Structures are given as C-alpha cells and as structure tokens.
Structure 1
Amino acid sequence: MRFRLLPLALLALGFSPAWATPANLNGQSGTEVVQGARREALMTLAQPITTLTANALNADFTWVAEFTRNVQIIGAGEGSHGSAEHFQFKDRLFRELVRQAGFTVLGIEAAFDDGYRMDQYVRGFGSDDPVMAMRQFDFWTWQTQEMRDLLVWMRQSNQTRGKGPELRVMGFDLQDPAGSLRLMQELAPDAGRLHDALQTLLIWSLGNEPWAELKAQRAEERAPFLEGVTELLGAVQALPPASPDREVLHSLAQTVRQASIRALVPDGTTGANLRDAAMAGNVRQLLAGLFPGQKAMLWAHNFHVSKVGAHGQPYRPMGSHLARDLGTRYRAIGLSYAEGEVRAIDTQGGPVPLKVAPARPESLDMLAMGSAPAVFIDLRRAVLNPVLRSWWVNPVDFAGVGALFTAGTSAHVPIELPAAFDGVILVRRSTASTLLSSSAPQR
C-alpha cells in the first residue's frame, strides 16, 4: 500500500485535501461539503422577506436605505412576466423606495403611450376605474391584479400626499409606434407642420402595420414613409420650448423613429440590442425632460435590467447601458424562484399557468432557501465571502422566462451573477400572475 503524504509546509498552513476533511470522515461526499459551505455562507448574508403583503411595515426591507444611497435608478427584474410573487415583491419594493429613499417614478417595460395613460390614472385624471385604465396596456403581461394593486396605491397616495411629491408612471419601450401616433393625434396642435407630418403617417398606417412590412419593401418603396418619420421628429423639435406637451410629443415621435429603425434590422439579436439601447436612452431622456431630479424604479424582465446578458449570448441589455452611463447611480436587482408555475403563452396558446421544472438542488435558489417566502442578498457584500466568490467565478443558473414558455422545461439560464446584479430576491415558490377579470388584447 502506498500512503499519500502531505508536505509539512502545507500542513503547517492548515491545508488538507478533500479526503482528509472532517466532513468526509463523517461520511459526506465532496459535493455535499461544497454545497454545505455555500449554503452556510448564503445563510449568513440572506435577509428574510417574511410576507408578500405590499403594505406591511416591518423589517423586511431595512436594507433599502443603504442599498439606494446616491442611486438614481433601480432596475427591478423579474424571472418571468407572469410570476405573481415577483410582481408582489416589486410592488412592495417600490413602496419602500418611496418611503425610505424618496423615489417617485415607476418606469414600466411598456410602450410610452401606455405609460402616459397609466400616469394620467395615478395622477387622478379620467376614470377612477383601474381596470378601465389598464385596458390601455398593449400586452397581457401588465394587465394583472398585482399591477392593479400598485397603481391603485399610487393613485391613493397622490390623493393624500399633501405637499409631498407626486408619484408618476412612465413607459420606456418602443413596441407600439401606432399607439404613439394615436396619442400624438390627441395632443398635437390642430394645424401647422406637426399636424401635417402626423396626418401623413396616420394615413399611411391606417388599417395596416407599416413597420411589419418595411424590411420586405424595396428601398424606393419605403423611402416616403421613413422620410415622414424623420419629418415628424423634426416637426416636434421645431415646436417652441414652451409648447404644451412638447416633451411628451418628443418622446412619442422618438419611439416611432426607434420602431422604424428596428423594423429594418437584419436579425433578432440586432433587433434586441437596438431595443435595449433605445429603452436605456428613453429612460435617460424621460428623467431629464419630464422628471428632472427624480428617482425611478424600472419594472422589467431580469435580462433587461441586468448589467450583462445571459452567459454566452451576444446581447447587451438595457441595464448595461445605464450602468455604463450612470456608474453606481444605477443598481440592478434580479428576482428568481426555486419552483412553481408562471403565466405564459405555450404552443397551445394562452396566457395560462404553466409549471416550471424545479431548480437544481445545488442551485443558488435552492441553497439560499430558509423558512421565509423569500430572501434578499446584497451581492456587493456576498462577493467578499471567499466561498461565494469562488463559486460565482462560473455562471450561475437564474430565472429567465419571458412571455413564451414550454411547460415543464427549465426556467433558469446561466448568468455571471455578480456582474449582472447588485442584489437578488430569491422566492421559494412562484405562482401564476392573476389576470384582470375582463378579457384584454393578447399580444
């Protein structure tokens, strides 16, 4: 028999191989030792979130004040566009950002015209029926009871704010240029250069979606439409600075231009990169023009708010642009879940509740779970722990379901965790978001 002898120098430094560890001698495998060390490290950092109740005034979010110090924008992700718990925790997060850190603007991954109409609702204009207001959302993902609860709270807060700041809503996406044109028609002057430019595009888009046809057209066929888009933006920019709704009209015209450029890109990856760069630019422009000096939480998917894309993907998310431009004034929080279901569209249609495959036993979601429904982990501090830092040198599975999903498949994708997010909220179990009672446009 040959004995393995350790150099005295290594023994003096306290080094011992896996086969010589006490855990191994107690019958644990090397994998169990590693997972135990990771779990122990996570448990020392995980801050329990004990309730889903949005208006709970307890110690669950005491970390908010320090986490947001000198921060202008918080990107709040979601591991699915249809997780009730992710929506509920983001509702609670926004309320705490308002109370503790002076945030006033809720940015939503929705078209600018949708955000404008939600802003009118929370400011007390128009119908006091939230469901009627939320029918303006183009996508089913936001037409949920969870989103309704937050918008109702914002409206009520504005009604009782006294001399406090007004809470506002903004949409920063570009996916509904036709809706932008319709809102411009409501707000634009009844005559003049802008009126004429707008009428040209409205006639062009009447009864069809020219943006879906642009790439298939010959250059000479689409040239008049694109010239009209350029003229629309120029007409807005030519308005006197004090013109009513000038900033709103400029944002609307900008989304029409962005959608037109995106319609011509050669592939999906280029289109996704253009969309996220445009959303980041829209956020910056809106905060500078419509909401100067205010702080915003952005409600969007994990892989829009993250500072890097999923591992191995040629994709630059919105958060990467904001982090580049704002540095530490932008912070991103990702949300994940260990198991459960989400609401999404599958091959049979939808949106319907769909079961997701549980996270792997060795995953971040599973190892971080305690008795609370969820935990928050500040990744800025977590990476100081050598056990976690060495683990996260490699990609980590994290929730990443969009509006489309196949039931029973994995809901997680690999990501460079500390590079992507500054903090994470890990939910034990996800359930499907609750659609508003009345049917709505499905897109």
Structure 2
Amino acid sequence: MLVQRLGAPSDFDPLLERIASARVVMLGEASHGTYDYYRIREQITRRLIVERGFSFVAVEGDWPDCDLVNRSVTAAPGGEADPQSALERFVRWPTWMWSNAEVSRFCRWLRAWNLDQPVPERVGFHGLDVYSLWESMQSILDYLGEEDPVTLEAAAEAYRCFEPYGSRIEEYGVASRFVSARCEDEVVRLLARTRERAARDGAGSFSAWQNAAVVAGAEKYYRAMVGGGPQSWNVRDTHMAETLDRLLERYGPDAKAVVWAHNTHVGDARATDMSPGGMVNIGQLARERYGADDVVLVGFGSYEGTVVAAPRWGAPHEVMTAPPARAGSLEERLHTLLPDRALLILSHGDRPDWLVQEADHRAIGVVYDPSFEAWGNYVPTRLGDRYDAFVWCDHTTALHPLPATVMPGELETYPSGV
C-alpha cells in the first residue's frame, strides 16, 4: 500500500500512474452531500480529461436531466450557454445530488475546455440511472414527432399503459403482480422500434435509444421493487452498467469513461456483505466486463463533519452533523493512521492485514439519521479488495445545493437512498 499526503494537485500523480491506460475510472463518495468528495472528484476528473484524454463523465443521475447538461457543456445546438441553468432545471428529488455549486463549477470548466476542442472530441456529461420514466417517455414522443407512425404508436401504447399510475408510478409494481396489469410487452416493443429508428437516424438519435432503454429498465425496476430483496437493486445497477457499455460504444473504440457514483455502486460488491445478499453493482460488473486492468475503482471516506441529507424520503434537505465514526470501523482506524487528507493506492506493494480483513465502512445516503450511527449506516467491507485506491478526508463539510423546485422522487433502494 502506498500512502500519499494530499495538499497540491501533483499529489494525485500516484493515482494517475495507477490508472495508466485504464478504460474506466470510477470515483465514489461516502455520501451524496459532502463538498470535499465532489471537489476532489472534480480535481481528479479534470486531470483525466486534460492529461489522459477521457471521453465523457457518467454520473448516478437521470438521463434526460443530464442530457440538458451534456448539451450545454458540449455547446450543442439549443443547449444552455451556462451549464448552471441546465442544472437548475433538475426538479426530481433529491435535486442536490447534481444541482449544486460544486457540479456547476466543474461543468462550467468543462464547457470552457470543450469550446477549444473540435466538436467530435468534446467531452460529454451523461446520466446512468434507471429513474425518469415519464421524462424519458416524453423525450421519445418529442423525438418521434409525426414522421414514424408505427414507432409513435408503440410509444403511445407504452404511455397509455403507465398512465393510470400517474406520479405514483411505484404503484405499477403492485399492480404488476397481476399479469393483466403489466406493461412489459408494450415496453419491449417500444425499445425494439426505437432501436430500429435510431439505427436509421444515426448518432444524433442515441439519446432517444437511451431513453427507450430507461423506460424498459424502469418497468423492470418497479416490478422488482414490490417483491423486496435484492432484485430491484440489481436491475438498477445492471441498467447503469449497460448504459456505460452503450456510451463507450458510442464514443468509439478508444473511448474512456469517468464514473461518479456512491461508494455502494462503485466499490466491488464482492468485497462487501452485498454479495452474500445476492447483490451486484457497477464496480463489480465493470471489472467482470472490461477486466481488472482496465478498471480503476476509487473509494472515498471521512471520520466526521457535516453533510447535506434529508431526515426522510422526499423531505427538504438539511445540513446535518456526521458524528465521529463508530469504534472498530475503517474510518476510526484511518483517523488514527493517516493525515487529514491522504490518497491510498491499495494495490501498491505489501498490504497490511487490516486491508484484507472485514470491517465496517460508513455509507451515508440521501436519507440520513445521525442517531442511527450506533447500528446502521455502515457496510462490512474488505477495503483492499473493494477499491484500487482510496481518498481519505478526515473532516468534511457539506456541499452547496442550488435553488430548486422539488418534485417527489422514487422510493428508496437499499442501502437507503444511494
């Protein structure tokens, strides 16, 4: 293990050496509401774009919302001149995950960078997640217009099938226990027709194809969610992995991706208690699909600080205090061993026993109750197997959400809201 104190931009050099020619770099976070994680992730991503030619950033966000940001940062026709204007249009709770000052700063930098690049070489910004069924449906209808009546009818049939559930789309999952209530056939037909249309229209229709895949993924997700257990989680992470596959294919054979998502998605599930529970995640799937040498997984963690989260699902966000990590946790150990800011290259040289032994590793979702720290908010983890590198921030502060008009979001998934 190599330990590098962080203080200057060059202190990330060992991480870039570890990344080498990797095709996929996943940068995690131990919460969705911590300034330090977003800021450091931005610094690493800038270097990957400028020095290593990475092609796009893919985040744990909705495809339609992130497509507005992509159009802005790539200066596509009709895109916002200021990426923050696109971020401020995010309305589905929890908006602060991406609609915040930290992401805005990165996206403004990315647009400035892209304006100096040829159009085919501009770096994109995309959403991987399975939510946004209604927004994706509307985007498909807008794309089809009146020019393809067969595909348009397939979209209309899928829309009509979901329409009775309105904004309470999770109720579809309950109804789907009865075969007559399922929309699976309509969605499969829509996906096939949209894929055929996209193949005819070329690269400009990729977003419509992806929106159809979101609709298909959402239909599976809500059907799985009502049954409980790991299946809805697996539907979601498999959808994100498949979206990453499509993006790499779209950007070409030399494409390289940066992924921003929670540690519970990024860190290999096989090194946690998620795997015995039957769950997979995008970190595991990427290692399996592309090979360990072409994938670098970077986790993040802290000992204490402040964080933006909500006390319950759908509630307004608050700045909360994350207390000192509980006794016996990885965070407590790192607090005693490391400086305030440090980078660990976990696969470098000899590894101490505690890197391969299981210990609790904190995970804060968009829903958080600090009083639950004594028995929750932790994932048993073998740190050296879960990640290739780890960024340590002993004390952290809350990020800065942008003003937003909030709409209700989907029900939480395990672990809570990550």
Paired with 1:397 and 1:243, the residues of 2 have a C-alpha distance of 50
1:311 is aligned to 272
1:237 is aligned to 195
1:214 is aligned to 172
* 1:365 pairs with 2:318: no
CA distance 1:205–1:70, change in 2 (3 Å): same
CA RMSD of aligned residues (A): 2.4
Map 1:15-414; keep pairs closer than 5 Å.
45-50=2-7, 58-125=9-76, 126-137=79-90, 138=92, 139-140=94-95, 141-161=97-117, 165-192=121-148, 193-206=150-163, 208-209=166-167, 211-217=169-175, 219-223=178-182, 225-239=183-197, 241-244=199-202, 245-265=204-224, 266-308=227-269, 311-313=272-274, 314=277, 315-327=279-291, 328-347=293-312, 349-360=315-326, 363-370=332-339, 373-381=340-348, 384-385=350-351, 388=352, 390-410=353-373, 412-414=378-380
Q: List runs of 5+ in structure 1 lacking aligned partners.
A: 1-41, 52-57
Paired with 1:295 and 1:311, the residues of 2 have a C-alpha distance of 27
**Structure 2 contact 55–251 (Cα < 8 Å) conserved:** no
CA distance 1:248–1:290, change in 2 (3 Å): farther
Paired with 1:304 and 1:233, the residues of 2 have a C-alpha distance of 26
Paired with 1:163 and 1:310, the residues of 2 have a C-alpha distance of 41
Shift of 1:143: 1.1
Identity %: 20
**Structure 1 contact 143–435 (Cα < 8 Å) conserved:** yes
Paired with 1:293 and 1:358, the residues of 2 have a C-alpha distance of 43
Paired with 1:381 and 1:240, the residues of 2 have a C-alpha distance of 45
CA distance 1:221–1:148, change in 2 (3 Å): same
Shift of 1:290: 4.6
CA distance 1:228–1:294, change in 2 (3 Å): same
Paired with 2:357 and 2:49, the residues of 1 have a C-alpha distance of 36
Paired with 1:164 and 1:335, the residues of 2 have a C-alpha distance of 33
Shift of 1:197: 1.4
Paired with 2:68 and 2:198, the residues of 1 have a C-alpha distance of 24
CA distance 1:391–1:64, change in 2 (3 Å): closer
CA distance 1:163–1:437, change in 2 (3 Å): closer
Shift of 1:211: 3.9
**Structure 1 contact 310–413 (Cα < 8 Å) conserved:** no
Number of matched residues? 387
**Structure 1 contact 365–427 (Cα < 8 Å) conserved:** no
Shift of 1:69: 1.5
Paired with 1:251 and 1:166, the residues of 2 have a C-alpha distance of 20
**Structure 1 contact 77–334 (Cα < 8 Å) conserved:** yes
Higher alpha-carbon deviation: 423-432 or 119-128: 119-128
CA distance 1:240–1:135, change in 2 (3 Å): closer
**Structure 1 contact 204–210 (Cα < 8 Å) conserved:** no
Paired with 2:271 and 2:398, the residues of 1 have a C-alpha distance of 24
What one-letter code is carried by the residue in structure 2 that aligns with 1:127? E
CA distance 1:128–1:167, change in 2 (3 Å): same
**Structure 1 contact 122–168 (Cα < 8 Å) conserved:** yes
What is the TM-score when the length of structure 1 is the normalising length?
0.81
Paired with 2:255 and 2:198, the residues of 1 have a C-alpha distance of 25
2:413 is aligned to none
Shift of 1:440: 4.1
Q: List runs of 5+ in structure 2 lacking aligned partners.
A: 410-418
Shift of 1:395: 1.2
Shift of 1:417: 0.8
**Structure 2 contact 25–296 (Cα < 8 Å) conserved:** yes
**Structure 2 contact 34–398 (Cα < 8 Å) conserved:** yes
Higher Cα Rg, which structure: 1
CA distance 1:352–1:240, change in 2 (3 Å): closer
**Structure 1 contact 302–335 (Cα < 8 Å) conserved:** yes
Paired with 1:146 and 1:279, the residues of 2 have a C-alpha distance of 23
Paired with 2:38 and 2:248, the residues of 1 have a C-alpha distance of 23
CA distance 1:269–1:361, change in 2 (3 Å): closer
CA distance 1:206–1:240, change in 2 (3 Å): closer
What one-letter code is carried by the residue in structure 2 that aligns with 1:369? L
